Amino acid sequence: VDVAGLYRHFDGDGLQYGPEFQTIAEAHLGAGEGAATLHATSPSWKGFLLPPPMLDGAIQFLLAVAAEDPQFKGLHLPFRVGRLVLGPGQAGARLKVHAAVQPGATGAETVGDIVLLDA
């Protein structure tokens, strides 16, 4: 996936991410799921168990996976996290993310699963 193109697409949808929040370094999309590498772009978030830009990058990637479905239309914003489980210690500067959209969830509401692991 062309990551710069992905961020241009987000920008065209009204989601303008500054440099600190453009954490997707590489991405691979499949049918309803994908894998990506996230990279922390600033040391200013050191000390957080999971830096906000990394969590945001994982959600951005879930939106990219969902956007592969032709039924996915319009601007989607996250408004709820069903469950968040953190392991011991802080997240690293590089994370692997797997995102999957739940089948039939690309209407008015997108529901998916995100797994983050240290790279």
Enumerate domains of the chain plus CATH numbers.
Answer: 3-79+88-118 (3.10.129.120)
Distances (CA, A) of 100 to 17, 44, 46, 89, 117: 22, 30, 28, 25, 15
Write the pLDDT tens digit of every residue in 63-96: 999 888 877 777 777 888 888 888 888 888 899 9
Residue 100 to residue 42: CA distance in whole angstroms: 27
| Sheet of strand 94-101: strand arrangement | 24-29, 33-39, 94-101, 112-118
The whole-number pLDDT of residue 59 equals 94
The whole-number pLDDT of residue 72 equals 76
Show the low-confidence residues of the chain (pLDDT under 70): 104-107
